Structures are given as C-alpha cells and as structure tokens.
Structure 1
Amino acid sequence: MTPARNRVLYGGRSSSKSWDAAGFAVFLATQCRIRVLCARQFQNKIAESVYTLLKIQIGRFGLTNQFIITENSIKHKLTGSEFMFYGLWRHIDEIKSLEGIDICWIEEAHNLTQEQWDILEPTLRKEGSQFWIIFNPRLVTDFVYRRFISNTPPDTIKKQINYVDNPFLSATILKVIEAKRKEDEEEFRHIYLGEPLTDDDAVIIKRSWILAAVDAHKKLKIEPTGVKRVGFDVADRGDDKCATVANHGFLATHVDEWKAKEDELLKSAGRVHAIARMLEASIDYDSIGVGAFAGAHFQALNQEHKVKIPYFRFNAGGAVLNPERRIDPKDPKSPLNKDFYSNIKAQSWWEVSRRFRNTFNAVERGEQFAPDELISISSECDHLDRLIDELSTPRKDYDNSGKSKVESKKDLDKRDIPSPNLADAFVMAFAPRTSHTFTLANIG
C-alpha cells in the first residue's frame, strides 16, 4: 500500500466505496494491531455508524470467530485490533484526547467542517497514522471538496469511484441508473458520477443555513420556551416510512421514523400519541390520504388515556394563511401571500426557510432576532444527517399560475430521491396553524 497521510475515496452512489473500506479495514485488523477511529458528523446511535458494514464484512469473510463484537465495539482476539465509533459533532473534544490512533475513517465526510478538521488533523500524531475520507460530493463549496479534491494537499491519494467500477451491481440497478441518465443527465452525473453541484440556489432551504442551526441555541445562548409540538408525517405507500419531529419553541428536540404499513395507522398513531404525552406536546399531522383517519385515532387515544392532547390537521394543499398580508411585511412592494404561495405547504416551507436564514445570519454574522424568528436543531436528535439532507433537497417549483410551490414527491422520485418524510414532519412541527384545524371537541 502506497504510504499517504490522507486517503480519499469519492464518487457517486452504488460505487461500493464504504463496503471496500470496511473490507480492507477488516483485513488489516487480522494482520496487525491497529486502532481505528470510525467517525461521522452525527452519530447518536451505533446503527448510524459503519459498525454494521464492518460486522457484515466480517461475516462474509468467515471471520466471526476471530472477533469480539459487542453492542458498541469490535475487537480482534489475536491481534488486539479495535474499532471505535464516534460522532464528530458531539464528541470532538473527547476525540482530541484519544491516543494511538492508526486510522481515522471519516464516513459521509461531505458534512466535515474546517473547524473539525483543524482539530482532527493534529490529533492523529502516531507515526504512519492516516485518514480515510469517504464521501459523495454535494457542493463544490463544501469544505471537504475544496480541501481534498479542488486543492489537494501533499501526501494525499485521492480516487474517484463510481458505479462503473462496481462489478457486483445487479442488472436491475443498472437499468435504474440508465433510466436516470436518459431522464436527467445533470442529475445522473451528480448522483451516480459524483459530480458536485455548483450551487444550491434552486433549493428552498440552503444547506449552510441548516448546518448553522445545529445547536444554534447553544451558540446563541438562548433557552427554548413556549409550546411543544410533534409533527407527524404518515407513510402513504409501501416503501414509505412514518416520521415525527418534536420541538420546544424554536428548538427541534426529537427525530424519529419507523416502517409502517397503511393498515397499521392505529399502531403508528399510538406511537405518536405516546410521544406527545411524554413531552406534553400537541400533534400536527398530515391529514391527506391515509393520514385523514389519524384524527379519529387521536380522539380515541385521548379518551382511553384520559388526557387532552390537542391535535391539528395539516392539509398540504390547503389555502394559505393571511392571504392579504405581504410575504415580507417590511417590504410594501412584496407580493401578497395569496399571490405568491400556491398552498399552505409552500407557505410553511418558505416560513421555515426564512427562519433558517435568520439563524444563519445570527450565528455567522451576529444579527439579532427574536427566538420565534429562529430555528435550532439539537445535535442529540437521531437521523440528523438525513434530516439535513432532506431539508436541503426540495427545489422551488411553480404551479400553472406562477405561484410558488414545493417540488412534489413525484418529481423528487424522478430525481431518484426518496420521499422526504423527516423534512415533512419537521416543517409540520414548525408550520403556522389555522384556527379551523382544531376544536376543543377534538381532545375528547
């Protein structure tokens, strides 16, 4: 293996970059004693790490008997090699104190920040230690792309790997990839050839705004106050998932998702109701399609548990709120809500976007805003990487009359992007409410 401080694997989807890294790491662990720090930006559960990849590769190679695999660590019995798993966002200070690290494997490194790299780089001080940096490029402006691809530092080996380099792909997935190429060449090159996007002006919420909002309450030294809400996105098709996001005022505190069939709505409603009872929160639920029946379940659950959990319908296609107000009250020339937004979903996404932008300006530029004009996301939330991806993915779109709307799930599917369940639940948790979506009779 050619000596190098930094080993960078980047490219598109279905290229097996992480699988190859896991296999090679397992091989090295059987040959000599190594300490491997497996890191990613957000990791609140071991399942969010490369732990599962390593475990699968160990089994594939028939080496299970050689390793001690616990719930949060992997060690080789003979060589003493060990794999440790950390989330950079919450444990960067703890990582600084680690000694004797041979390999720091940074998975999904597109979220790596310069501040984190400035801490990590001198932390690996053992002779011959190295970084494995693996990612699918997002934007040309992302730190990791600029640092290792655009301006590659000395003592770095970089290799682009795409699906064409993976001989194990099925004929089915190859047909999917070819279909994407025919549908949208630009999206195909980004998703499957790993070509970064030049900007994100087409999306409703910029990624940089969302990243600035992670733990913004700590950065700005603001404590959450006010109402508590749970946004509930109901699974509406076979491969979809239910999702919830809970908040306390401007702070998102909990993120959850689970697989549920259409005929399991009662079970899912019970799960959401339990979260609301635990947090003493109200519920905002998707009332379209399958979700139309959720309200009746919440009413029955209120009666069963002798509680009064308020629940509110969110009809994505419903009319906008305050139609005669301007979208920017400070600008008398800005359009009216009724002339700018196609529906309440668009109005809600733009409102959340505005609050994310305010948060970015508060964190990065020191501008002052009231707490209810901001949004913060606790780094302790599960599924944080995907939440960030989903919130920063939908593009601006327009209806036949030129009013703004959110890119539809159908159009996202054409871009080979799954339904943004977490993002939809997030927006519902922060969406403005109409007075007619809830009555006291609903609390049973």
Structure 2
Amino acid sequence: MDQRPTVKIQFLNEFRELFNESWRNIVFYGGRGSGKTRHIGLALVLRGRTKRLRILATREIQNTLADSVHKVLKDIIEQYGFTDYEVTDKTIRNRITGTEFLFAGLRHNVNEIKSMEGIDIAWVEEAQSISEDSLKVLAPTIRKTGSQLIFSYNRLNELDPVHVRYVIKNPAKTYARKVNFDVLERAGLLPEALKLERDEDAKDPALYAHVWLGEPVSQEDTAIIGRLAILEAMKRKVDDDGAIEIGADIARMGNDRTVFKKRKGLRLIETRSYTKLRTTEVCDKLEAFAGYDKKTLIKVDDTGVGGGVTDEMMKRGYNVLAINFGAKPMDSDKYPNLISEAWFYMATIMPTIQLDMKDDVLMELSNRHWKMDTKGRRGVESKDDYKKRGFRSPDEADATILCFYTPHSTSEFRLRII
C-alpha cells in the first residue's frame, strides 16, 4: 500500500497537455515569467511517481550539471517533500517506481545520445539553441513505443530549427502552445520582482517583445535586407521559368563552407554545402552540381582562393563568370565596392524571388550591416567585422548573392571583373 503523504499542488490548466501521453511532441514556447520550465519539471516529477520512466533532460550545450534542469527538479522535489525521490549531485531517481532522470548535452555527446536505450521522455530546455543536426540525432533516438519529446524555449529567430520543425510544419501528434507572463499573472503567481523587471524592460519595445512576449530578436535598422522581406521570399511560390544559374562561394579557411546555390529563373532550386575540400574536389562537386552542362552560367567568388576554382573550371570548359567582390562596382557613385552593390541589388529583387527556408540563410542575409563612407556611399560591413559580432562566415548568404547577382554586362562570361 502506498504510504506517501498527499500534497496539494497548484498546476495551471494551460499546461495540462503535459500529462497527455498520446502526444509524440509537446512544445511550449514564449517569454520570461510564463512558468514553462517549472510546469514541465513538475509534470515530469509527478508522472515519474506513478510509473517507471526513463527521462532524458537535455539541451544543446551542457558542460556541467549546473547547466541542466537538475536544480529545477531538485527544488520541486524538496518543495513538495517527495521523499520517494533520491537526489544526488549527479542523479535523480524514484525509489518506489524506479523512474530515473538522465542529464546530457546534445552537441558534445552525440554518440552517447545515440546509444541510449529505452528513453520514455526527452525534455529539451532552451530549445531555441538546438541545431538542425542535433534534432536529426535526437528525434530518431527517442524511438521507444509511446515515447515523447518535450521542447521549451523562447524564440531567438523566426527560423529556429525546433520552431520550424514542430510549430511551423506542425507534424502529426504534436501539441504546440505559446505562453507568456500573463499565464502566471492571471493566476496571481507572477513574482513582484519579475513584474518590476518586466515594467523596466517595457521602456525598450524591442527588448520587451523578445524577452517578455516571446518574439524573435528584432532586426537592427542598419541591416541591408529586411527580415520580413526574406521570410516572404521563403514563403513565396514563383514559376521556375528562365535559365539556370549557379552561385559558388568558395571556402577560404578551415571552418568556412564552400556553398553552391542554383536557381531557375527567380526560383532557388538547390543548395549544396561542403567543408575542407581541395580545389580539384571543389571543381568535381561543382561539375556534378551543374549537371555537367557546360552552358550553365556559373558565377564564382573569385576573391582569394576562389581564383583557383575559376581557372580550373575554365580549363574544363565551363561557362564561368568570375566575380571579385572587392572589385570596383558598376555604380561607383553609390557603392564603394562590388560586394556592396551586389548586396543592395539583392535587397531590390527580394520581393520577386523565391528562397529556400533555411535558418542560416535568414540569419546571414538579415544580419549583414551597412554604413556610409566619407563619400556618402553605402558599403556592406567587412566579413571580419561581421564575424567579430559573433556570427560565422556568411557563406550561405554570399552564395545566394552570387546566384542572383546579374552584372550589367555579362556578354563576356569568361572575363574577370577586376
């Protein structure tokens, strides 16, 4: 006979689906003070008291247990006096049902995650940071009959991989709900300290929208291409009438990517990305990407190491237009260099094209800044400055720019622009 004492628990109705075992995926997203983390933790602790469960608590990066939800679960267990749980510095286990909580980061524990067996529930906290690669590992790993994936996060960008997969695409057996601070405030549970913090942040509308309303991070005014315009291009459907053209951005450093983009008319139809390829290997891949059609126009970033690819592809008889982004622009009164002209050209055609829905593309196209030079010309920030702001090399964006960029005169496709 169960001798555990009965305790009274206040559990908000907005989170009741956490007890519904028919869902494969449960998603709660929104701003600060919504109670997401606590209610998920409480639901899992309660469910673990009714039957044996193997629960993986994870996030993209977890260097120490302090980075995990271990403390959240420990605090809930102590608050309600659930003495049937044994809590150590590394583990949480229910002595009666055998429920156990496991803690591991996704990015640095891929093989460990893949080898885990019998996981009933995987809870991904701070899921806005989870990469597409990590999602591809996690979802098929949690494959036990009746198993569930639970995600909680505050959106960072419109195309956070977890948001695209489980909210925008909304696969079968998925429950998704946005919750904000008003959920706790209506129940009289929003702490005064959070109210004061919220009211202070309300002085900055963009900060308030992201932190408290769960909206994606706002785009800065100095961005060349508006985020909304990019999203509309990603949702747009256009005919693929027109010639096929390819843009190829060639990697310059070890962690940079070589990216190929192909369009037919105004519709982007294919993308390929590679790392750590030699020049001949890049050319082999590029030939295959072009379908070995030597009439297809291939625009190669000829800056730096790209020149080797240009030369080799020309030797192989391909229709190559070599573009040096550092070269003189067509309109030197408006732009200091060709790359700036190409970026602003991209901004003008954005309302007419169709792009692929990729988080990297959105991030890189929407976050490149511009500034005015001493001659009143608009110039795109350097790649080094862009990377200093915490972004990786904008290879997806540069390949997209190349793919759609149309110089005023392309009659001599083999002529380098210098």
TM-score range, shorter chain: 0.5 to 0.7
> Are the counterparts in 1 of residues 250 and 305 from structure 2 also a CA contact under 8 Å?
yes
Aligned counterpart, 1:82: 147
**Correspondences of 1:388-427 after superposition (within 5 Å):** 388-427=362-401
1:124 to partner: Cα distance: 11
Which residue identity is paired with 1:355? I
Deviations 1:325-360 (A, max 9, x none): xxxxxxxxxxxx33111122111111110112xx2x
2:237 pairs with 1:237: no
Distance 1:439 1:429 in 2: 14
Residue 204 of structure 1 pairs with residue 219 of structure 2: no
Counterparts in 2 of 1:158 and 1:32: CA distance versus 1, 3 Å: farther
- Give the distance between the partners of 1:158 and 1:225, measured in 2 at CA: 56
**Structure 1 residues 294-351: Cα deviation after superposition (integer angstroms, max 9, x where no partner):** 122112333xxxxxx3111111122222xxxxxxxxxxxxxxx331111221111111
Compute the RMSD of aligned alpha carbons.
5.0
Equivalent residue for 1:268? 282
Q: 1:247 aligns with which of 244, 263, 278?
A: 263
Which residue is equivalent to 1:376? 354
CA distance in 2, matches of 1:125, 1:311: 45
Rate the CA distance shift 1:150–1:418 in 2: closer, same or farther, 3 A: farther
How far residue 249 of structure 1 moved from its aligned partner, in angstroms, is: 1.0
Contact 2:156 2:216 in 1 (8 A): no
Q: Which moved more, 1:341-350 or 1:66-75?
A: 66-75
In the alignment, which residue of structure 2 is the partner of 1:292? 307
The aligned runs of 1:17-416 (5 Å cut-off) are 31-32=52-53, 60=112, 64-66=116-118, 73-75=140-142, 77=144, 80-82=145-147, 103=150, 110-111=157-158, 131=176, 148=180, 199-217=219-237, 222-260=238-276, 264-277=278-291, 281-302=296-317, 309-321=318-330, 337-356=331-350, 359=351, 374-379=352-357, 384-416=358-390
Give 2:251's aligned amino acid. Answer: A
Percentage of matched positions with identical amino acids: 20
CA distance in 1, matches of 2:345, 2:188: 43
Alpha-carbon shift at residue 75 of structure 1 (Å): 4.0
Q: Highest CA radius of gyration, 1 or 2?
A: 2
Q: Provide the secondary structure at the position in 2 that maps to 1:73.
A: helix
Amino acid at match of 1:350: F
Measured at CA, do residues 10 and 289 of structure 1 come closer, stay the same or move farther in structure 2, by a change above 3 Å?
farther
Confirm or deny: 8 A CA contact 2:114 2:141 kept in the other structure: no
1:193-230 alpha-carbon deviations (Å, 9 max, x no partner) = x997655321000110000011412xxxx412112111
- Partners of 2:249 and 2:258 within 8 A in 1: yes
Please identify, of 426-435 and 416-425, the stretch whose mean Cα deviation from structure 2 is larger.
426-435
When residues 269 and 398 of structure 1 are mapped into structure 2, their CA distance, relative to the original with a 3 A threshold, is farther
Q: Which amino acid aligns with 1:425?
A: A
Gap change, CA 1:276 and 1:108, over 3 Å in 2: farther
1:350 partner SS: helix
SS of the equivalent of 1:244 reads strand
Alpha-carbon distance, 1:402 to partner:
2.9
Deviation of the 1:66 alpha carbon: 2.8
- The structure whose residues are more often helix, as a share, is 1
Gap runs ≥5 in structure 1: 12-16, 35-51, 85-102, 134-146, 160-186, 303-308, 322-336, 360-373
Q: Is the 8 A contact 1:105 1:131 kept in 2?
A: no
Which of 419, 428, 433 is the aligned partner of 2:407? 433
Cα distance 1:312–1:153, how it changes in 2: closer, same or farther (>3 A)? farther
User: What secondary structure, in the 3-state scheme, does the structure 1 residue paired with 2:261 have?
Assistant: strand
Q: Is the 8 A contact 2:252 2:305 kept in 1?
A: yes
For 1:426 and 1:124, locate their aligned partners in 2 and report how far apart those are by CA, in whole Å.
Answer: 29
TM-score with structure 1 setting the length: 0.54
